A and B are shown apart, each in its own frame.
Chain A
């Protein structure tokens, strides 16, 4: 999963869970059924798990572009230059 995918997956997870929780409370209160509320929320959690936990191909559309090795050779690492140091008296 790439960086963009990780950001999307976190937002998607929170939105799905909050929406399923709100729907569960509203439906449960309207139908006076605690059981309906729990089942709807459980369904929402299962759906969110299926959508956000596996590494779907959808989350890999923005791969990181690394430089070619040849490019790296043109820009060598800066070397540490030895300096003369004054010793403490």
Chain B
């Protein structure tokens, strides 16, 4: 500590170490927040349900998505990525996940929303397993913090089904 340079170096090293501790504490504090998100999805209409020429089934839906993700936001949250996936079982695969819609929620003010939309990404099954298929719609979310650990969770909504015939 005898010269200007040594003191500046010691201060920089100690302050960065303390900064790392501060960020770790901020990340740990996320574990103590109460999270009670809710979501509800209705299928308003099956717009199109057909067999593609190369033997894949494709569905076009109109979804009504209502969600309240406000409680996911803490002081350490940068943004939340949310997506809706259709999940179903086929003889070949025990779990198929097809992403239908997604959104980046930038802040708490936009975390409670209702949106009516047709599926943003195409709902295609690799095969022709979709006629009369029961499936879940699952709202997944990834909470992206400013520092520290990323959290992911989901709400599974079962009990949706597709018609028995193409249209």
Instruction: List chain B residues, Cβ under 8 A from A52.
Output: 7, 11
Interface residues on B, range: 20 to 34
Contact with A along B1-37 (1 / 0, CB 8 A): 1101001101100110011011001100100000000
Dominant SS among interface residues on chain A = helix
Dominant SS among interface residues on chain B = helix
Instruction: List chain B residues, Cβ under 8 A from A18.
Output: 18
* One of A41-49, A72-80, A81-89 at the interface: A41-49
B146 on interface, CB distance cutoff 8 Å: yes
Cβ-Cβ contact count across A and B, 8 Å cutoff: 58
Instruction: List chain A residues, Cβ under 8 A from B25.
Output: 25
A13: which of B4, B11, B21, B29 is its contact (CB, 8 Å)? B11
B2 touches A21 (CB 8 A): no
Chain A positions within 8 Å of B, measured between CB atoms, are: 1, 6, 9-10, 13-14, 17-18, 21, 24-25, 28-29, 31-34, 37, 41, 45, 48-49, 52-55
A32 touches B1 (CB 8 A): no
B60 on interface, CB distance cutoff 8 Å: no
What 10 new A-B contacts, CB under 8 Å, besides A21-B22, A48-B15?
A6-B2, A10-B1, A21-B21, A25-B22, A25-B25, A34-B76, A41-B22, A53-B4, A53-B7, A54-B4
Chain B positions within 8 Å of A, measured between CB atoms, are: 1-2, 4, 7-8, 10-11, 14-15, 18-19, 21-22, 25-26, 29, 74-76, 146
* B69 to A: closest C-beta gap in Å: 17
B10 touches A13 (CB 8 A): yes
